[in-house]
Amino acid sequence: MLEPGPDEKLYAPLMLGVVIDALTEQGVVLGDILAGTGLSKADLADFETRVSLNQCVQFHSNAFRLSRNPSFAYRTGLRCHVTSHGMFGFALLSSPNFRQTVHFAMKYRQLATPMVELAFHEEGGRAEWGVEPVAHPAIDAGLYRYLVEFQFGVIVALSRDVMGAGFRASRLQVTYPPLENDSADAQLFGCPVTFGQPANKLLFDADWLDRHAELGNELTYRAVVRICDQLVEEFDNRVGIVGRIRQYLMTNLMRQTGFEAVARHFDMSVRTLRRRLQDEHASYREVVDGLRRDLAIKYLRDTGMTVDDIAHSLGYSEAANFRHAFRRWTNAAPNRFRGIARAIAAEDARQRFPEQADR
């Protein structure tokens, strides 16, 4: 997967509202909170708004500077419940077991936060979340600590939402040194804190992973995961010049769009656009071909469109040309692929819900 650029607007600003609420309770005005981010109150209320890594860094830098409570980051992270994470949070809540919850969280973590890298490890009855703020020139030592503690709070909040209010970490390990008042940290976090460690970790008893998910529902979970798959696809389609071209072509596939026309749309010379694609190890032909393949598979798997209709929607003048291309992509004819995909889905449903299959 391509690495998103720091100015690419890819992330839903769902948790920013929680931080804003916490700061306004301290008397901080919204203008100061959003200073330098390019965001407005209306932007944060718009479901379609997406923000960049740079905007997130500026926002949290403001929050770190404006907050008056040394425990602000962790306490505010604790306010970021599943409802602050959109479909990602709903999937966590509906996951039928906690190990599956962790697997989902790791697979779809790009939907959760651009600010930190997450890792998970389980061994010898102990489970641990690893947290590392992303490398960014504006993240200094103070903001680094803020982001680690904020993410620790988020992890605890989500774990309690999913596993129960009794969840708590057994130990925190952090890379940074203690401050003068860090003697109170154990009371704040509810567990011992070890400073100057090689990595930032939140450790807990792995027995929590075997507990029953009271709100888990397999059918709901599968439906929400499909929505998250669509969100990941949207995310990928926004990354880099390849993503921008794919987005543009999505609305232009029914008519032939030449490379020169795409370059004009992005206000680039043909040479510049070709070089940008080469930087991402792609060519225009590969982008078009890959987009057609992905959409063809989606249409065959998820819709009742005929092969002729799919061919037309993807810009093929002849259905035979589409069939030939599809065989090249998948080594199967379109109708055979559709039959196999539906058989697999039916078998999966039968295995997961045998009581329904027997009715």
Helix (H) / strand (E) containing 122: strand 116-123
The confidence score (pLDDT) of residue 353 equals 47
Max Cα separation, the chain?
Answer: 74
Please write down the long-range contacts of 243-246, taking CB distance under 8 Å and 24 or more positions apart. 243/2, 245/277, 245/284, 245/287, 246/287, 246/290, 246/291
Say if residue 206 is exposed, middle or buried (CB neighbours under 10 Å; 0-12, 13-18, 19+): middle
Q: Is the pLDDT of residue 59 over 70?
A: yes
The confidence score (pLDDT) of residue 239 equals 67
Could you please state the CATH topology (level 3) that the domain comprising 237-352 is classified under.
Arc Repressor Mutant, subunit A (1.10.10)
- Domains of the chain: which residue ranges? 16-210, 237-352
What single-letter amino acid sits at 85?
H
Q: Is the pLDDT of residue 202 over 90?
A: yes
The confidence score (pLDDT) of residue 3 equals 59
**152: which residues sit within 8 A by CB, 6+ positions away?**
74, 77, 131, 169, 172, 189, 202
Percent of the residues in the chain that have a pLDDT greater than 90, as a whole number = 30
Q: Is the pLDDT of residue 255 over 70?
A: no
- If we measure between CA atoms, which residue out of 318, 340, 257, 332 comes closest to residue 291? 257
Give me the residue label for tokens 């944060």: 44
Q: What is the pTM of this model?
A: 0.68
Q: Is the pLDDT of residue 61 over 70?
A: yes
Give the model confidence (pLDDT) of 107-147 as tens digits. Answer: 877 777 788 889 999 988 899 999 999 888 899 999 999 99
The whole-chain average pLDDT of the chain stands at: 83
The confidence score (pLDDT) of residue 351 equals 55
User: Higher model confidence: residue 217 or residue 280?
Assistant: 280
How would residue 1 be classed by pLDDT, with cut points 50, 70 and 90? very low
The confidence score (pLDDT) of residue 151 equals 94
Residue 274's CB is within 10 A of a number of other CB atoms, namely 15
The confidence score (pLDDT) of residue 86 equals 76
Q: Is the pLDDT of residue 356 over 50?
A: no
Arithmetic mean of pLDDT, 223-251: 72
How would residue 282 be classed by pLDDT, with cut points 50, 70 and 90? confident
Q: Is the pLDDT of residue 97 over 50?
A: yes
